[in-house]
Structure 1
Amino acid sequence: MKVLGISGSMRRHGNTAQLVGVILKRCDDAGIKTELVSLAGKKILPCIGCEKCKETKWCSIGKDDWSSIAQKVIDCDVLVIGSPTYYYDVCGQLKNFIDRTYSLYHDRKLAGRKGVAVAIEASNGAHRTIQTLEGFLNAHEFSSLGSVKGSGYLEGDILNDAKALKRAEKIGDKIVRLLVPNHD
């Protein structure tokens, strides 16, 4: 069993990565294999709408980092996907990644996994970010394990959001109960 966290933020160790990390730590502490992938510094080109993926069942755009990350999503049991809120929605880097997963939709390559949506807002808008992430998860037939919304702007601010941290820990515990049923 594996839990994959994706932080869509361009801040490698920013609030999104930290909040996703809280969930992953609960899983890791229970002996579940976890991995955190940051999209910071990654090259993720946008979908060009070429529709070639309907035949190839994989995105035909090459020469970027999308394929290796998409393969990690295919290989996971639970995906924890997070984004900072930019203008009331997910950030562009993560949106590029999500749009390219259309190539995995045709054969339902992601169906049957579990998913968690995580959003960080400076002051507001995270609700819509969660909706976008849950839309992605629903379209690919993930089963939702919930969502976490937190507030923070400067790196580390999320650690002051006690409500978000508590919710993230509860989601992490839920994943543990799911993947390790006899865990106390």
Structure 2
Amino acid sequence: MKVLGLSGSTRKNGNTAQLIKVILGQCSEAGIKTEFVSLAGKKILPCTGCGKCKEKKWCVIEGDDWGGIAEKMLECEVLVIGSPTYYYDVCGHLKNFIDRTYSLYHDRKLLGRKGIAVGVQASAGAERTVKTIEGFLSTHEFASLGSVTGTGTDEGDIMKDAKAVAHAKKTGDKIVRLLLPHHD
């Protein structure tokens, strides 16, 4: 897989998922392989701070969905990762996922990938959400391809944010130019 879209929202097809899918759609239309993963309905336990991942080179917590999703992240060239804004930051579900990636940090397992941060707000705070995601991407030494923010509360509202949808399409086109340099 070349482009992985990861929505941290607990809503399977909520506004965050829909905005990420706009980006992925541009890539798919150009023939780039994409995959979308939603954390909705997934069990992602929090990091316990045990430090055993330093020795094991992988998170030692078992019995949840983190490992399978982390494997997909290791296979991608570009990660489009997003969250709804909860109290001016990423939602807790995505934060659990991000915290567990500390286990990948020791050997720089995510180094060299490209990343895009996506934040969706009801009325404010998406910039802070994006900053948290960008911190994750920067820590793992992703090259940033920018960010996309939008506004929407009820499912589907994001598609009414014409500026966000247009920016998402342009961001998808940026990925296409990167991965298919001769694409018009």
Q: 2:138: which partner in 1?
A: 138
Segments of structure 1 that go 5 or more residues without pairing to the other structure are: none
Output one character per residue of 1:7-27: Cα deviation in whole Å (capped at 9) or x when no partner. Answer: 000000000000000000000
Output one character per residue of 1:80-128: Cα deviation in whole Å (capped at 9) or x when no partner. Answer: 0000000000000000000000000000000000000000000000010
Opposite residue 120 of structure 1, the aligned amino acid is V
Percent identity reads 72
TM (norm. structure 2) is: 0.99
Distance 2:133 2:121 in 1: 14
Distance 2:164 2:108 in 1: 32
TM (norm. structure 1) is: 0.99
Report matched runs for 1:35-184 at 5 Å: 35-184=35-184
Distance 1:118 1:46 in 2: 22
- Counting matched residue pairs gives 184
Distance 1:23 1:30 in 2: 12
Distance 1:139 1:10 in 2: 25
Distance 1:56 1:122 in 2: 40
CA RMSD of the aligned region, Å? 0.5
SS of the equivalent of 2:141 reads coil
SS of the equivalent of 1:85 reads strand
Distance 2:14 2:129 in 1: 17
Q: 2:6: which partner in 1?
A: 6
Output one character per residue of 1:7-66: Cα deviation in whole Å (capped at 9) or x when no partner. Answer: 000000000000000000000000000000000000000000000000001000000000
Distance 1:68 1:2 in 2: 17
Opposite residue 131 of structure 2, the aligned amino acid is Q
Segments of structure 2 that go 5 or more residues without pairing to the other structure are: none
Opposite residue 17 of structure 1, the aligned amino acid is A
SS of the equivalent of 1:24 reads helix
